[in-house]
Amino acid sequence: MLAEQMVTSAAIASPYVSRPSPAPTLQGLFSNQPVERIEGGSALFWEEDQADHVFHVVEGVLRVFKILGDGRRAITGFIYAGDILGVSFKDRYLYTAEAVTDVKVHRFSRSKFEDVVNQSAALRPQLFAQLCDEMATAQDQMVLLARKSAEERVGSFLLFIARRLQRSGHDASAVDLPMTRLDIADYLGLTIETVSRLMTRLTKRGVIAARDRHRVTIRDMNMLVRLSGEASQDEAQPHGSLPVRRAVWPH
């Protein structure tokens, strides 16, 4: 496993531990590492393996998943270019990371990573923030899986990907989905058929349009937000917003 080492534009400056002068960043730690290429479909690491490395994704998309004893798979996340992968583990990887597309990563020794971060008062809060972000994403996913309908899940997913791409400077309405329907289904806790039907339904309603199977355009962002189930009843209406009706639970 673990694709081959390919030394690309080897670093110029910086002895030992990378330090892009101004303010050190977690990503900066990886900048002197060689680029490794992982072919779409192959694994970067496996659940239960010794967690010896952390990775910075330069290009491509990965899926991260756990498998139940009888083969059922749950994808717990997709990892994009710019993301750091492999920090939230103590000893062993909690899940398998597999390339969806061809991927380029920088690899860094985990123990060294921890040492360096631990030494640096500037990097420590960044690591903390990274962990908090991962946690926040996981929380949202739990809400989606526990309480949203199939339609809301698909809507939320498209919205989530759109926003993530937007963050990295892409057009938010041109969403590209390199993963298969099976990947999406295993991420949303549904079946391929259900995902497929709902994509079709959203298309028929004019909320999205399908360029091809892996590329959709969001045509009605407001509707998509409404369908995603996050908005309150009020904001969902044309110009509603009457009572502050935040539902409260009885106890």
Partner DNA sequence: CGTTAACTTGAATTTTGTCAATGCCTGTGG
Partner DNA sequence: CCACAGGCATTGACAAAATTCAAGTTAACG
102 near DNA, rule: CB under 7 A: no
Closest distance of CB 74 from its own copies, Å: 4
Piece of the chain touching its own copies by CB under 8 A; list 21-29, 134-142, 168-176, 200-208:
134-142
Binding residue for DNA (CB under 7 A) from 190, 207, 208, 218? Answer: 190
Residue type at position 189: G
8 Å CB contact between 231 and 221: no
Looking at residues 100 to 119 of the shown chain, list those that interact with its own copies (rule: CB under 8 A).
118
- Number of C-beta neighbours around residue 122 at 10 A: 12
What is residue 11's three-state secondary structure? coil
* Bridge partner list, 5: 36
For residue 150, the partner it binds in its own copies, DNA, none, with Cβ less than 5 to 8 A by kind, is DNA
Distance CA 3, CA 179 (A): 20
194 near DNA, rule: CB under 7 A: yes
* 5, 93, 104, 196, 247 from 250: Cα distances, Å: 58, 40, 51, 38, 10
8 Å CB contact between 217 and 208: yes
151 near DNA, rule: CB under 7 A: yes
Closest distance of CB 209 from its own copies, Å: 26
Distance CA 155, CA 162 (A): 11
53 near its own copies, rule: CB under 8 A: no
Looking at residues 130 to 149 of the shown chain, list those that interact with DNA (rule: CB under 7 A).
149
What residues line the site for its own copies (CB under 8 A)?
40-42, 66-76, 88-90, 94-95, 98, 118, 121, 124, 128-129, 131-136, 138-143, 145-148, 186-189, 229-236, 246-249, 251
